C-alpha cells in the first residue's frame, strides 16, 4: 500500500476513535515542548490552534498526494514560525505530535507499515527548508 493510502487510513481510523483530536495533539505538543504553551496564551478561543492544525492536516495530505504547493506552504510556515522563536527542528514537533496521537488512538492496531509510512513522512517534512 503506498504511503498516501496508509496515511489516509491512519487519519480515518483515528477519526473513528476520536472525533476531535485537537486537544490530544496540543497536549502531546506541550508534553514535547512545555515552553510552547505560552505561544498560545492569546488564543483564548482556540481559533489559532484550530487553524494551525487544519493547515498541518492539509500539508500532510497534500504532501502524500504529491502536491508541490504544500512544500512551499511548509517552507513559508517554517520561516514565519522562526519569528516566534521556533527553530526548524522544533517546528517539526507539531507533525510528530499528530503522528503520536494517531498512533495512541490506534493502539495495538497501529502497524509497522504505518510506523514506516509516518517515519518517511516526518523525514520528508524535516527536509523541507
Task: Report pLDDT digits (tens) over 84-119.
Answer: 889 888 999 999 999 999 999 999 999 999 999 999
d(CA 52, CA 98): 12
CA–CA–CA angle 7, 60, 2 (5° rounding): 35
Q: Does residue 127 have a pLDDT over 70?
A: yes
Q: What is the pLDDT of residues 13-56, one digit of tens each?
A: 999 999 999 999 999 999 999 999 999 999 999 999 999 999 99
CATH fold for domain 3-36+45-127: Globin-like (1.10.490)
As a whole number of angstroms, the distance between CA 10 and CA 44 comes to 30
What pLDDT, in 10s, does the model give residues 1-18?
469 999 999 999 999 999
Residues near 114 by Cβ (< 8 Å), separated by ≥ 6?
A: 6, 9, 10, 103, 106
Look at residue 129 in the predicted model and tell me its pLDDT: 85
pTM: 0.94
What's the rounded Cα separation, in Å, for the pair 6 and 102? 12
Amino acid at each position: 500500500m503506498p504511503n498516501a493510502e496508509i496515511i489516509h487510513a491512519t487519519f480515518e481510523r483515528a477519526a473513528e476513535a476520536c472525533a476531535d483530536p485537537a486537544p490530544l495533539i496540543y497536549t502531546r505538543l506541550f508534553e514535547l515542548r512545555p515552553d510552547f504553551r505560552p505561544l498560545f496564551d492569546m488564543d483564548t478561543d482556540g481559533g489559532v490552534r484550530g487553524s494551525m492544525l487544519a493547515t498541518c492536516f492539509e500539508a500532510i495530505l497534500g504532501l502524500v498526494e504529491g502536491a508541490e504547493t504544500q512544500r512551499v506552504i511548509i517552507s513559508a510556515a517554517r520561516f514565519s514560525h522562526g519569528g516566534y522563536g521556533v527553530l526548524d527542528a522544533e517546528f517539526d514537533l507539531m507533525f510528530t505530535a499528530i503522528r503520536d496521537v494517531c498512533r495512541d488512538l490506534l493502539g495495538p492496531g497501529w502497524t509497522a507499515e504505518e510506523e514506516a509510512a509516518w517515519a518517511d513522512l516526518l523525514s520528508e517534512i524535516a527536509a523541507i527548508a
